[in-house]
């Protein structure tokens, strides 16, 4: 099954993506994670996108589409995958159609008033890629999954969150109509608990 997860920054995409991939045994392809890995390893791509990511803007379409096309051509993707953070605009969505149209697009909808609190309380693990909220893990700096040192992502500050939300509204939100017109969108209420959101997703995926 080829799944796309849509939703505003902080809607819980990463958390749900991990649970979906475990249950349905598909690879989790997060463009944000791929970019962050490149930044960590100081690759040419990482150096190119670091300032863009830190500002909350989108990385160039050509680089992003190429990267996804290459990743989807790997053998582990033959039976499906979950795309998290891609596509992010109409150009990327139409590019994706050329090599891999999705079977289902799940849009996690959250109350935008709650997003800032969700993101500013987020702690991320650069080692395993996990992301946790201080409401659940408390004030620890140790990753509960792998023991790595938790950090606050550079783009999880209030100023950058504002920019990311504005980018989302301008460029990513139009994808909801784009996929609705194709008849593949399914909307999920993202304002409840992790289990509540996951249950709705499982009802869709079967
Ligand atoms: P995320 O982890 O999905 O919130 O993405 C973090 C950042 O990575 C975004 O704010 C963008 O700068 C960049 N990024 C991730 N996915 C894409 C994409 N599909 N197109 C362009 N930039 C992206």
Question: Are 68 and 96 contacting, i.e. CB atoms less than 8 angstroms apart?
Answer: yes
Residue 31 Cβ inside 6 Å of ligand 1? The answer reads yes
Q: Which two tokens stand for residue 199?
A: 């249950």
Q: Is 71 a residue of the active site?
A: no
Assign residue 64 a region: left if phi > 0, alpha if psi is -120 to 50, beta otherwise? alpha
Among residues 11, 42, 50, 45, the alpha carbon closest in space to that of 153 is found at 50
pLDDT value of residue 17: 95
**CA of residue 16 to ligand 1 center, whole Å:** 17
Residue 13 Cβ inside 6 Å of ligand 1? The answer reads no
pLDDT value of residue 2: 97
- What domains, with CATH codes, occur in the chain? 2-26+79-205 (3.40.50.300)
pLDDT value of residue 112: 82
pLDDT value of residue 60: 98
Q: Which two tokens stand for residue 7?
A: 């939703």
Q: Which two tokens stand for residue 21?
A: 């991939």
CA distance 103 to 110: 23
Q: Of 13, 36, 118, 123, which is the active-site residue?
A: 13
Residue 164 Cβ inside 6 Å of ligand 1? The answer reads yes
Task: Kindly report the number of other CB atoms within 10 A of residue 117's CB atom.
Answer: 12
pLDDT value of residue 9: 93
pLDDT value of residue 190: 95
Residue 123 Cβ inside 6 Å of ligand 1? The answer reads no
Q: Which atom of ligand 1 is nearest to the CA of 52?
A: 12
The alpha helices in the chain, defined as continuous H runs, are 13-24, 31-40, 44-55, 61-72, 90-99, 112-120, 134-137, 158-167, 174-181, 194-205
Task: Kindly report the number of other CB atoms within 10 A of residue 203's CB atom.
Answer: 10
With the C-alpha atoms ordered 5, 9, 12, 18, is the resulting torsion angle positive or negative?
positive
**CA of residue 145 to ligand 1 center, whole Å:** 24
Q: What are the pLDDT tens digits along the chain (206 aa)?
A: 999 999 999 999 989 999 999 999 999 999 999 999 999 999 999 999 999 999 999 999 999 999 999 999 999 999 999 999 999 999 999 999 999 999 999 999 998 878 888 888 999 998 988 889 998 899 899 999 999 999 998 889 989 999 999 999 999 999 999 999 999 999 999 999 999 999 999 999 99
């Amino acid at each position: 099954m080829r799944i796309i997860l849509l939703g505003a920054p902080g809607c819980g995409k990463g958390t749900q993506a991990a649970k979906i991939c475990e249950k349905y045994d598909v690879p989790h392809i997060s463009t944000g994670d791929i970019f962050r890995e490149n930044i960590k390893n100081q690759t040419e791509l990482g150096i190119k996108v670091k300032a863009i990511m830190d500002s909350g803007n989108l990385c160039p379409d050509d680089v992003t589409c190429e990267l996804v096309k290459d990743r989807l051509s790997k053998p582990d993707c033959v039976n499906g995958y979950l795309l998290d953070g891609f596509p992010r605009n109409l150009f990327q969505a139409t590019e994706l159609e050329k090599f891999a149209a999705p079977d289902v697009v799940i849009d996690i909808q959250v109350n935008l008033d709650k997003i800032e609190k969700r993101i500013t309380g987020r702690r991320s693990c650069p080692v395993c890629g996990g992301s946790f909220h201080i409401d659940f893990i408390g004030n620890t700096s140790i990753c509960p999954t792998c023991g790595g040192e938790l950090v606050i992502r550079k783009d999880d500050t209030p100023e950058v969150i504002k920019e990311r939300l504005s980018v989302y509204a301008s460029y990513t939100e139009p994808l909801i109509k784009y996929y609705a017109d194709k008849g593949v969108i399914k909307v999920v209420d993202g304002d409840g608990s992790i289990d509540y959101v996951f249950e709705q997703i499982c009802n869709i995926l079967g």
